[in-house]
Structure 1
């Protein structure tokens, strides 16, 4: 029986790569994003023989979640797995950040995850095989300039992971992924020199690709990870273990 995964932030980057990988492995895929390019990702999956439904919606809207779940149930069946990957970030120091910017990042990154888990939870608990992956960031563990709200929300996701894994232990596995410098739209506008400098800060000497994050997400969602829950997995090419010193 085909299982269904719902992925947010699926119009590009890690979300789209995860959708393609899960579909190629035989999963039905529901894709949710505010960006209407999510339709193109779904069309690509279907043209390759996969099953996919796309929804243009806002993860901060309860109504959009309800509408998406209703359509998923009709088109694909109940949700077996959830990947919460949608994000918002503004690069600005805290003393220059507006309350609206701070709140928007909390709403998308943290409250959007809460709403998604709550919306899908009945499906995920129904056969005691449900699985959730929350996509956080190495920013959860390391201080970097000009991302105070983003870092706070990504750290919040690691705590939420442990709480959910405890709360729903025998029914739903919940794990958290912490990507490092991975080439997504977040790197648009970053100069080649700055990209090279960031790559040099990793043990592997390069930036990652979205599919290199999608692969461990697929593992955590699947039955091979059946005894793994409440963990945080860093996928950063060794960025977080490498420091330079004279």
Structure 2
């Protein structure tokens, strides 16, 4: 039996204590929630953001995480859609950490979406989405290779979407980018089997700026899917008021960012060693809805 005095003096070990995690697109939405989750588990963080408009958000997030969880955060601005951006993240991290630099966790979260009909898809739009959602993670993965663990303790999680498999209207390009990311996930799981697990997580609609910016037309297409999603039923005594008020139009609720971050965080722990090459559903059951 442990005395109260002994219990007070004992430091509780966190699952990711001392690990270093890189999160792209960390300034807001799912990326910020993942950063919060990993920091709560003891991981030190490299927080990547793209545009100058996200600079202050990332600084505020870093300060909050360091104060709340006692972790260290390194902020790096880089454009995941440029050929130089992904490489520059690792170059700057190496400059900060020196020869001791080792990357334990990589979260490929940064992504963009533009919903267009077949007739309105353009080469410019295709290139923009594929450069950020597919080429960016590949270039970052290449840059990270020399710094990943060699004992299977590494964790790589790619943020995909149910759009990769559900065939939503207006998502010829976006759905394709996420399917490509899932294909790379399986390949990387085999190539990196002695170094890291590699998995993807596929959210459905999530309460973020991206969801709020979708058109009435697209949300109308999603309504039948949301209505048949087990986890999307509105709970008036628990859910946010704006989601409760929007129930009739939307057909239910999107996920909260923390619900996605929780699955990602789980995949980053030692408990997830025997899970690799998988697309792990974090969509309330939408993947099986229709």
Structure 2 counterpart of 1:144, from 168, 191, 202: 168
Report the RMSD for the aligned CA atoms in angstroms.
Answer: 2.2
Q: Is the 8 A contact 1:208 1:236 kept in 2?
A: yes
* Shift >4 Å, 4+ stretches: none
**Who wins on radius of gyration, i.e. which is larger?**
2
Structure 1 counterpart of 2:39, from 23, 28, 35: 23
TM-score (norm 2): 0.77
Q: 2:246 maps to what in 1? A: none
Structure 1 regions of 5+ residues with no counterpart? none
Distance 1:146 1:161, change over 3 A: same
CA–CA distance in structure 2, aligned partners of residues 27 and 168 of structure 1 = 22
| Total equivalences in the alignment | 243
Q: 2:21 maps to what in 1? A: 5
Q: 1:71 maps to what in 2? A: 92
CA–CA distance in structure 2, aligned partners of residues 233 and 165 of structure 1 = 14
Q: 1:233 maps to what in 2? A: 280
CA–CA distance in structure 1, aligned partners of residues 129 and 213 of structure 2 = 20
CA deviation after TM superposition for structure 1 residue 125, in Å = 3.8
Q: 1:47 maps to what in 2? A: 67
CA deviation after TM superposition for structure 1 residue 199, in Å = 4.1
- How far does the alpha carbon of each residue in 1:80-118 deviate from its partner, in whole angstroms, 9 at most, with x for none? 110001111111112212211110000000001101111
CA deviation after TM superposition for structure 1 residue 189, in Å = 3.8
Q: Is the 8 A contact 1:4 1:79 kept in 2?
A: yes
| Map 1:1-246 → 2, pairs under 5 A | 2-35=18-51, 36=55, 37-48=57-68, 49-75=70-96, 77-189=101-213, 194=219, 197=223, 199-204=226-231, 205=233, 206-243=253-290
CA–CA distance in structure 2, aligned partners of residues 199 and 13 of structure 1 = 20
Q: Is the 8 A contact 1:3 1:27 kept in 2?
A: yes
CA deviation after TM superposition for structure 1 residue 190, in Å = 5.2
Q: Is the 8 A contact 1:72 1:78 kept in 2?
A: no
Structure 2 regions of 5+ residues with no counterpart? 1-16, 234-252
Q: Is the 8 A contact 2:82 2:131 kept in 1?
A: no
With 27-36 and 120-129 compared, the bigger mean Cα shift is at 120-129
CA deviation after TM superposition for structure 1 residue 13, in Å = 1.0
CA deviation after TM superposition for structure 1 residue 16, in Å = 0.6
